[in-house]
Structure 1
Amino acid sequence: MSHIGRYFNTLELLLSHPGGLALSEISEQTQVAMATAHRILSALRERGYVYQDEQDHYRLTLKIPSMGVSYIAETGFAKIMQPLLNDLASETGEHVRLAEVAEDHLTWVLQATKNTKGLQYRRALDEKIIPHTTAAGKVWLSTMRDERAMRILAAWDIENTRDYAGPNARVSIRDIFDDIALIRKEGYAVVREEGEVGVCVVAAAVFDSSRPDSSIPVGTLSIAGPIARMREDTLGAHIESLKRAAIKVGEHWALWTSVSGKDSLPTR
């Protein structure tokens, strides 16, 4: 692995552990020697990306998140999209998130929550999107050829999925592709306690019709809430709202592309 690759691995690891990690844990999980890990962390500290807390755990500063927020704001993307997410959150009373497709990855970019109901589900935008345990990931996989989907899934330890996901997570490729086949037929994904306990999520793909190949999604739109509230009697209405909102988001994405002259958000 390149020297630069080790830096990015360290940053990505710390992004997924906001509570911080000890030097030994970082060394083990990035598979580099303690001395190398220490040099990397020291360099990141000097640039203001990392700090050590009272327990000598290394944690990210807010520099990277603030850079991302500032950049998205500068593109005008948030100004165009946020009202649409706010409307969907108000209509459903649940947590709404928009993710962008960037080559072989999905990345959360915007979210909205309106406190119109009791218990609310919320998650950070910097968490990784696991393709086979999330509604966003599954609906994205459903838009591509099986060969590409298999290549993306190969990066995950499928058989041990329940060690890092919810109790209903699929642990076989056959089950995952059965889900994908159903999503292709219905046009949306539903996951119940696959990503985490007590949570149900529905998601639809977002398409920019102005692109040369409009069959390739630019993102996904999802609604998440407590499974006790996301029952069959409410899920149907949420799905219809989601489909309408995904079309609007796609139309506004095309508008943003034409105004900004950009094909996608900056790589994060």
Structure 2
Amino acid sequence: MPQPKLAPVSEDGEKLVGADRVLGVLVELAGHPAGATLDELARRVGSPKATVHRALGALRRAGLAGSDARGHYILGDEFLRLAFAHHEARPEHVRVQPLLQRLAERFGETAHYAVLDGRSVVYRAKVDPAVGAVRLTSTVGGRNPAHSTAVGKVLLAYRLTTRADVEDWAGPEPLERRTAHTATTARQLFEQLSETRARGYGVDDQENEEGINCLAIPLFLTSAHQPSGAVSVSALAYRTPLSALTDAVDEVRRILAETTGHVQTA
């Protein structure tokens, strides 16, 4: 999926300067796994080449950026070491990984663990099936809109309990339409969240990606009242229909209990 961008101007309309510009270059660099030239980076962050070159110098001195044999700038090994060390040290990642592995093996589809961050979900862990994996918009550390994903809706259901809550969260503009099936109004989203709370799990019926459906269940790893995140099974609709996932929700709950010690009920 597209990497999050730190735009040439900040939220208050000011141009990026100083540390913000260095961070802007770092975030932009993360969106170019094959590397990017100085010209490309300067154009993308909207800053002079000399300024971007100084930002890259600061990143290189810290080991957060480097260059390849073609002279393209890439993320540095120290950045990758820090990112992976931090990811591996997360207690939730350690606890959830066996669950995701079992779900991916059971359904032959991709399993995720995601958390809510504002209007998006952020994927903290992901396990693909041994065979038949497909390319999804979800990547570890990546984001998708909360309102169009099963994990997002199951987490929002605990945060937005009234119509007013949903309207405040959604704002005056229509929600992003990811597919023809996406709920784009506060009324539609409120109805979906109410259904999600009632049944204890969330669904995505090709609402975030065409041809992909999903079942999600909340996980309460740090609190008995608010989920720390949600696990999901994302499947090819023609291979594993949504009905096959929802019919197996009790089995998913059993696997969850066996691997995490947490019992989730509807």
**Normalising to structure 2: TM-score of the pair?**
0.71
Q: Does 2:186 correspond to 1:173?
A: yes
Distance 1:252 1:115, change over 3 A: same
- Aligned residue type for 1:218: S
List per-residue Cα deviations over 1:148-176 (Å, max 9, x = no partner).
6555545xx964724xx344333333222
1: CA distance, partners of 2:28 / 2:183: 24
The equivalent of 2:45 in structure 1 is 27
* 1:121 positional shift: 4.7
2: CA distance, partners of 1:238 / 1:41: 50
Tell me if structure 2 keeps the 8 A contact 1:200–1:226.
Answer: yes
- Within 5 Å, which residues of 2 pair with 1:8-157? 8-16=23-31, 18=33, 22-28=40-46, 36-51=51-66, 58-61=73-76, 63-74=78-89, 77-101=92-116, 106-116=121-131, 118=132, 120-121=134-135, 123-145=138-160, 146=162, 153-154=170-171
- Aligned residue type for 1:186: R
The equivalent of 1:189 in structure 2 is 202
Tell me if structure 2 keeps the 8 A contact 1:121–1:225.
Answer: no
- Aligned residue type for 2:141: D
Tell me if structure 2 keeps the 8 A contact 1:23–1:38.
Answer: no
* 1:205 positional shift: 1.2
Q: Does 2:252 correspond to 1:242?
A: yes
1: CA distance, partners of 2:168 / 2:73: 33
Distance 1:221 1:40, change over 3 A: same
- Aligned residue type for 1:139: V
Any stretches of 5+ residues in structure 2 without a counterpart? Answer: 1-9, 11-16
The equivalent of 1:262 in structure 2 is none
The equivalent of 2:218 in structure 1 is 205
Across the aligned residues of Structure 1 and Structure 2, the Cα RMSD in angstroms comes to 3.6
List per-residue Cα deviations over 1:184-207 (Å, max 9, x = no partner).
222211113322232112111111
Tell me if structure 1 keeps the 8 A contact 2:119–2:145.
Answer: no
**Normalising to structure 1: TM-score of the pair?**
0.71
* 1:48 positional shift: 2.7
SS in structure 2 of the partner of residue 171 of structure 1: coil
Q: Does 2:233 correspond to 1:223?
A: yes
- Aligned residue type for 2:45: S
Tell me if structure 1 keeps the 8 A contact 2:42–2:48.
Answer: no
Tell me if structure 2 keeps the 8 A contact 1:203–1:242.
Answer: no
SS in structure 2 of the partner of residue 43 of structure 1: helix
Distance 1:202 1:36, change over 3 A: farther
Any stretches of 5+ residues in structure 1 without a counterpart? Answer: 254-268
Distance 1:121 1:160, change over 3 A: same
Q: Among the aligned pairs, what percent are the same residue?
A: 23
Distance 1:74 1:167, change over 3 A: same
- Aligned residue type for 1:201: C
2: CA distance, partners of 1:19 / 1:160: 33
Deviates more, 1:90-99 or 1:5-14: 5-14
1: CA distance, partners of 2:31 / 2:154: 23
Tell me if structure 1 keeps the 8 A contact 2:214–2:235.
Answer: yes
The equivalent of 2:7 in structure 1 is none
2: CA distance, partners of 1:77 / 1:167: 34
Distance 1:98 1:44, change over 3 A: same
**Equivalent residues, number:** 242
Distance 1:108 1:188, change over 3 A: same
Q: Does 2:266 correspond to 1:251?
A: no
